[in-house]
Amino acid sequence: MKLPVYMDNHATTPVDPRVLEAMLPYFTEVYGNAASRNHRLGWEAEAAVETARKQVAKLINASPQEIVFTSGATESDNLAIKGAAWAHRGRGNHIVTLPTEHKAVLDAAKRLEQEGFSVTCARVGADGLVDPDDVKRALTDGTMLVSVMAANNEIGVLQPIAEIGKLCRERGILFHTDAAQAAGKAPVDVERMGVDLLSISAHKIYGPKGVGALYVRGKNPAVEIAPLIDGGGHECGLRSGTLNVPGIVGLGKACELCRLEMPEESRRLGGWRDRLRDGIFSRLDDVRVNGSMEHRLPHNLNVSFGGIDGESLLVGMNDVAVSLGSACMSATREPSYVLKALGVSDDRAQSSVRFGLGRFNTEEEVDYVIGRVVETANVLRDISVKAEGKCKG
C-alpha cells in the first residue's frame, strides 16, 4: 500500500491512465488548432473535439451541439449564471439559489447583485436538502433563474433536481445546476431533470485539470446566454479562445469511462464508504455524519468528531490525504458555511472532516484509514482530557 492514502477525491481526482493515453497524441502528434480548417492536422484536432463533445453529451443525455467547452466548472457556472442574467434581464432580475452552493455560484450571484439583480437563498434542512416547496416560495414574478447544485461538494447530498426542474419549467424559469460533483458519480439526465444549463469539470471525474463543459439547452425551449469572453466566436460564439484539444479529449474519455463504469463503481465505493463509516462509528463515540445518508453520493462521508479540532486530526494523520471541506476554502479557518447552513455549531463544524473515496482506492486503504482515524482521535482526546485536568488542578 502506497502512502499517503488519498481520500480527497472531491477536491480533485488523479487522471485515469486510460484518459492520459487518449490525450497524449494531441500534445505531440496531432497538435493542430481545432479552428484551423485548411489542413489535415486542424481537421484531425477538430474531429477529436467533436468526438469528445459526443462523449460528454452522452453522459448527461444531451445533444453534442448543446455542449460548450470551458476551462472548468467555475467558468461554466459563471457563464451560465451571468450569461443567463445578462441575456434575459428584460424578463426579470431575480435569482434563486441555495446557501450551500459552491462559491463559483454564490460569488457569481453576488457580482450580479452589484449590477442590480436580486438574489434569494432558499433554506436547506438539517440534512442539507432543500424542499422544492421552499424553492417555490422563494420565486417571484421577476425570477428568471434558479441555480441548485446536483450534489454538494462538502457533504455529498443529492438535491431533488428533477422536482425543482419541473417547478421551473412550469413557471418558464431557467434552471441551472452545478453538476461538477454529480456527473459521472450519479445518474444525470438533463431531459428527465428538466435542466437548462449544467456545469461539468474534468478533474472531478479522473480527467485533466483546467477543462470543463457547460450544457446549454438547444430546444424545447432553446436557451440564450450572453458570452463572458469575446474574440473569435469559438463554441458558437459562447466561449471564444483556442480550444484545449488535449484537455477536451481527456474530458470526453473521462465521461465515456464514467458512463460505462458508473454502476459498478458506485456500488463498490458505496460499500467501502459504509465500511469506513461503520468502522469509525463502532470504535469512537461522539461522532456524527453531516448531511443525509439516504440522498448522498456513494463515495462521500462528512463526519464531525466531538471534542476534536479537525485540523489537528488531519495533522495527526498526515499519511492520509483528506480535507476539512471545500478545496477552494481550505486557506480559511472559518467554520464551513455549508455546515453552518445546516445548523451545525461552530465547534462541530470545526471538527468535521470530509472523506472522498475514489476509483483507485482499495479495501486495504479503507481499513488503514479507519485505524488511523481512530488512533489519532483517541490520542487527541487523551491530550485534551489531560490538559483539562491540569487547568482544573
What's the average model confidence in pLDDT over 45-49?
97
The pLDDT > 70 percentage for the chain reads 96
What's the average model confidence in pLDDT over 9-35?
97
Fold topology of 5-11+262-392? Aspartate Aminotransferase, domain 1 (3.90.1150)
The pLDDT > 90 percentage for the chain reads 93
Q: Which pLDDT tens digit goes with each residue over 242-281? A: 999 999 999 999 999 999 999 999 999 999 999 999 999 9
Q: Which pLDDT tens digit goes with each residue over 334-378? A: 899 999 999 999 999 999 999 999 999 999 999 999 999 999 999
Highest mean pLDDT among 61-75, 315-329, 331-345: 61-75
State the catalytic residues: 328
Q: Are strands 197-201 and 143-147 parallel, antiparallel or unpaired?
A: unpaired
Q: For the chain, where are the E strands, in sequence order?
A: 5-6, 67-70, 94-97, 118-121, 143-147, 174-178, 197-201, 212-216, 287-289, 300-305, 320-321, 352-356
More confident residue, 134 or 1: 134
**Mean pLDDT taken over the chain:** 95
| CATH code, 17-257 | 3.40.640.10
Q: Tell me which residue of 324, 322, 350, 323 sits closest to 335, measured CA to CA.
A: 350
Place 176 in a pLDDT band, splitting at 50, 70 and 90.
very high
Measured CA angle at 334 (ends 204, 178), to 5 deg: 30
Q: Where are the domains of the chain?
A: 5-11+262-392, 17-257
pTM here?
0.96
Residue 308: CB partners within 8 Å, gap ≥ 6? 351, 377, 380, 381, 384
- Return the C-alpha cell found at 259: 458512463
State the number of CA atoms in the 13 A half-sphere of 246 facing the CB.
15
Report the C-alpha gap between 255 and 262 in whole angstroms.
10
